[in-house]
Structure 1
């Protein structure tokens, strides 16, 4: 359901921003601000998609701490005291 809501929400928000910018004649300032906004939202969307599943690429994080916990390498110093 998240993909469907994103597919509906994202173009609507982009259109709302574009309508506000393009009511005036496009100047270099308007185009640069719109380009910065597009780059910013692109980076944010990449980060969201990259870390939506932390065990798959491109934002893969190895489960090293969990493996050490299962092997008994974490917390053993507290058990020996």
Structure 2
């Protein structure tokens, strides 16, 4: 969907912006679509890279379904000590 509002957002967002991108999987995949959540780390004329907790995900603009900025991740919670 080149030229969609989602792709326009990804083209214009500053690198380092935390984003979620829903994109279509290749035709041979059964799932249909998936999300990449993380920092926008690189951009080319044909796609972008989102740095997720599991590593870099390259997303081609032609497969983008939706994209938006998201707030920073919450701070890690402290572990509770067992009682007793």
TM-score between both structures, scaled by the size of structure 1: 0.20
Query: Which structure is richer in relative contact order (CA contacts within 8 A, separation 6 or more)?
Result: 2
Larger radius of gyration: 1
Q: Which structure features the higher share of strand residues?
A: 2
Q: Which structure features the higher share of helix residues?
A: 1
